[in-house]
A and B are shown apart, each in its own frame.
Chain A
Amino acid sequence: MNRFPVIEMKGISKRFPGVIANDNISFRVYPGEIHALLGENGAGKSTLMSILAGLYRPDSGTIKVKGEVIRLHSPRKALEEGIGMIYQHFRLVNNFTVAENIVLGSKHVNWGIKQERIQKETREISHNYGLEINPAVRVNQLSLGEQQRVEILKMLYRGCDILIMDEPTTVLTPGEVKELFQVLRIMSRQGKSIVLITHKLNEVMEIADYVTVLRRGKVVGDDRIENLDEGILTRMMVAREVVYSQAQRDSSPGGVILNVDNLKIQGDRGNIAVHEVSFNLRRGEIMAIAGVAGNGQRELVEALAGLRKAVSGSIEYEGEEIKHYDAKSRIALGINMVPEDRIGMGLVPNLSVIDNSILRSYYKEEFYSGWFLNYNKIRSYTDRIINEYNIVLSDSNHPVNYLSGGNLQKLLLGREIDQKPRVLLASYPIRGLDVAAAEGVYDLLLKERDKGTAILLVLEDLDDIFRIADRVAVMYQGFIRKILDVEKTSIDEIGSIMVGTELAGV
């Protein structure tokens, strides 16, 4: 491609207290290019793209947009230049309709909103890009995949020609990923450029034209996709070989520790999210819950952890009915849980890493003396978690939201595993982790399993299920359709149950 780049970032540096997130980075994007940005957790990807989107200002360096040096001092300015970013946490207004969300805050709309007109406009754009969506429904009724489509439409409506997506596929089902890639291809054909941050190398190989790899804030390599493969990319990212641990299949599950019988759970909107599910969990086994997000997995896990009331049915823990126990008593019994929603539920964004490390154990005797919390002990506890679970950060007194996405996840998981759980419930434990870190988490989970912990994982990636789980329960529309032995099933079988095409022959 010997056209001019649409984006040319030169010598970009950005320091945060105690860390150089971007160190003299140069980065280019050409029109119509799908550009993958890769790197380990904390490498500086989100920071670099937030600079391009006008959210952060660089300490030094210049940015040229379409050949002109531009100071991107705000997201709005960046949008005016045609640069739009979709963050991992969507920023939609839940009670507004799709169409309202799309036009909201754009400068074409000044005086009030005419429903018919905006719905028509929305329909036109969505049609052009194959982003089918009903403009009249409210956003809170959409799945995450659909919400993402709304975000993309919003950017297109504002005339973006450079779309940045930060880990867009982590919340999508395999089918939705395919659809997303289809849309990205259409956009690229129309001359729009896309920057994609992801940790999934197979996706990179499938969709990207060009790849830039960051490590510790520096560019360590960039090339056209034809010259690369997954092995080369991994080596660039982590500067060493990643040893893929092979799940030892010889797990030896013990007796049943958790027995769930006819459990019925209400969802957030008063609907029934989980209908009378029954299953049991044994010591020393990993059971995966497969299913398209939003089919009752979250509600099920929350009910087991005591964060949500069950309507009927029973939860027996070692033969004892615990349905009426609150979250604290369940932690005391050894039932630990890593929630799906990291920031907000799992962690308190503006409190320090130290404060966050005791979120689930602050009331334990070891952490206070007399009336006061004993911050000496808490601090050394935090340090131990940081070391043991390889959490990379510059200062544990900083607010936890300074941590990169992957390191947040490690903190969450480390904190729970450190409680020595007997039952561990975890939703999407490797979401957002780089290859090496994901391997680390697998190792951790397998070790826990071999110690006799019963583990229930909500997973989205079917390959992951086959690598780590012993059994898999497939959820669809609030029912557990089938519980299968991982060794005796196939990706296709699970996939078809997940989307409801195979009617469980019960």
Chain B
Amino acid sequence: MLKLKLIRRENESTMARLIVPVLSIIMAFGCGWIFLALSGYLPAVVFAKMFNGALGSPYAISETIVKAVPLMVAGLAISLAFRMKLWNIGAEGQIYMGAFAASGMALALGNGSPYVIIPIMMIAAFAAGALWGLVPGLLKAYWQVNETIITLMLNYVAIYWVDYLVFGPWKDPNSMGFPLTPIFSPAAQLPTWGDSRVHLGLLLAGIIAIVFYLVVQYTRWGYEVRVMGESSQAAKYAGMNVAKNIMLVMMVSGGIAGIAGMIEVAGITHRLQQGVSPGYGYTAIIVAWLARLNPFAIIIVAFLFGALLVGGFAVQIVGVSFSITQILQGTVLFFLLAGEIFLRYRLVLAREEAV
């Protein structure tokens, strides 16, 4: 009897780490090709459209970056928590809280100097996201409550809270019924690059990545995070305050995700609206994981995911149905994740005697 088995690799070669994702993507497109052909589309045309829509022109690239920025920031937020084996899947809610707090500030402060208003929005967004991270952090640190469930539940609270605001008290009277707040004053909008929609958030994402790297690798607190992420026993032995750090890491992680929310409202929508994040907080989990929590890899992976999203929109415009683009995106994801498994494990064909 022949049997397939997965065996953990002792060490992954650097070569494979580069080749496997590329192969995965090629295979995903192969699969998508067959699928499109069966559904009666011309695969070559659809793919060309997808590629052009995502990367084919300066405009396309700028749109891809626009989608990538919140994924970068949220991915960085998540990876900080994941480093400490804190499964914060609440980035989505933290994004909403950040968006809410930033919008509150923008609406309250009206017009003024952007040098004052933008930092205030950022601080507010960080604080709101941090609060959303602190709650599960506190529960985890003192009562060992599972953070996964709490962060997930808090997502809904945050999303419905924003819904409530944009349908109710904060709704723009001139919005003709749409769930939107009034538009922010120009001082509360992030500057953009030329006439594209690429905004200052990209720079912020880069800065956060660099700071993240430096802090984790070279500071005392980063050292504590690395030790605690590996072993809480060793952390206690080293005299570290584990409970305090659980809360701190959850706060900072939530705060960074909050900034992602602020960047969205201040950079793109310029107002708070329903569905400010179409699931960036969840996609960012995959981004962080594929990037293996490495801050610079997160930037690159987030960009690729941005391209996937934008490419999907582009083919919708030419009449490919939404569900088909979703399937194409799903295929790419599936193959990337599968490739990741083959990187970490080896598949062997073993002959064995029937038992």
Contact present for A360 and B238 (CB under 8 Å)? yes
Interface membership of B236, Cβ < 8 A = yes
Residue of B7, B233, B236, B237 with highest tally of chain A CB at under 10 A: B237
Q: How far is the CB of A360 from chain B (nearest CB, A)?
A: 6
- The 8 A CB mask of A334-348 against B (1 = contact, 0 = none) is 000101010011111
Q: CB distance B236 to A307 under 8 Å?
A: yes
A192 vs chain B, min Cβ distance (A): 22
**B219:A373 contact, CB within 8 angstroms:** yes
- A495 in the interface, Cβ–Cβ < 8 Å? no
Query: In whole angstroms, what is the CA distance A128 to B220 when docked?
Result: 56
A residues less than 8 Å from B7 (CB atoms)? 73-74
A371 contacts the other chain (CB 8 A): yes
Q: Is B278 on the interface with A (CB-CB < 8 A)?
A: no
Q: 0/1 per residue, A312-324, Cβ < 8 Å to B?
A: 0000000000000
Name B10's closest neighbour in chain A (CB-CB).
Answer: A56
- The reply to whether A74 and B218 form a contact with Cβ atoms under 8 Å apart is no
A242 at the binding interface (Cβ < 8 Å): no
CB distance from A410 to the nearest CB of B (A): 18
Interface residues of B, Cβ cutoff 8 Å to A: 5, 7, 10, 214, 218-220, 223-224, 226-227, 230-231, 233-234, 236-239, 348, 350, 352, 355
- Which of the candidate stretches A148-156, A247-255, A325-333, A385-393 sits at the interface with the other chain? A325-333
A171-195 with Cβ < 8 A to chain B: none
Cβ contacts under 8 Å, A362 to chain B:
220, 223-224, 238
Q: Does residue A350 face the partner (Cβ distance < 8 Å to B)?
A: yes
Most interface-central of A107, A339, A363 (chain B CB within 10 A): A363
* Alpha-carbon gap, A80 to B3, bound state (A): 14
Residues of A within 8 A of B218 (CB): 372-373, 375
**Pairs A-B, 10 closest by C-beta atoms:** A328-B239, A327-B239, A345-B233, A348-B230, A372-B218, A348-B234, A359-B238, A74-B7, A345-B237, A348-B227
User: Contact: A107 with B355, CB < 8 Å?
Assistant: yes
Are A371 and B219 within 8 A (Cβ)? yes
CA distance A443 to B26 in the complex (A): 63
Binary interface profile of A, 367-400, with partner B (CB < 8 Å = 1, else 0)? 0100111010000000000000000000000000
Q: Can you list 9 pairs linking A and B with CB atoms under 8 Å apart?
A: A57-B10, A331-B239, A344-B231, A351-B226, A359-B234, A362-B224, A362-B238, A371-B220, A373-B220
A355 at the interface (CB under 8 A from B): yes
CA distance A345 to B239 in the complex (A): 11
CA–CA, A358 to B224, complex, Å?
11
What's the minimum C-beta distance from B11 to chain A, rounded to whole angstroms? 9
B238, chain A: closest CB distance, angstroms: 5
Q: Is the CB of B226 within 8 A of A360?
A: no
Contacts of B5 in A (CB 8 A): 74, 76
A77 at the interface (CB under 8 A from B): yes
A371 to B217, CA, bound (A): 12
Determine the residue in chain B with the shortest Cβ distance to A327: B239
Q: How far is the CB of A33 from chain B (nearest CB, A)?
A: 27
Q: How far is the CB of B14 from chain A (nearest CB, A)?
A: 13
B residues in contact with A372, CB < 8 Å: 214, 218-219
Give A328's nearest chain B residue, CB to CB.
B239
A294 contacts partner chain B, Cβ-Cβ < 8 Å: no
Query: Which residues of A lie under 8 Å from residue B350 when comparing CB positions?
Result: 73, 77
Contact residues in A for B227 (Cβ distance below 8 Å): 348, 351, 355, 359
Return chain B residues, CB-CB under 8 Å to A363: 220, 239
**A287 vs B224: C-alpha distance when bound (angstroms):** 34
B10 to chain A, nearest CB (A): 6
Residue-wise interface mask of A (199-222) relative to B, using a CB-CB cutoff of 8 A (1 in contact, 0 not)? 000000000000000000000000
A77 contacts across to B, CB distance below 8 A: 350
Given contacts A74-B348, A341-B233, 11 further A-B contacts (CB under 8 A): A56-B10, A74-B7, A80-B352, A307-B236, A307-B237, A328-B239, A344-B233, A345-B231, A348-B234, A355-B223, A373-B219
Contact A346 B239 (CB under 8 A): no
Which partner residue on chain B sits nearest A326 by CB separation?
B239
User: Is the pair B236, A373 in contact by a Cβ cutoff of 8 Å?
Assistant: no
Q: Is A349 an interface residue (CB 8 A)?
A: yes
CB distance from B215 to the nearest CB of A (A): 9
Known contacts A73-B348, A348-B234, A355-B226; decide if A360 and B220 are in contact (CB<8 Å): no
Chain B contacts for A346, CB-based, 8 A: 234, 237
- Per the bound structure, the CA–CA distance linking A307 and B355 in Å amounts to 51
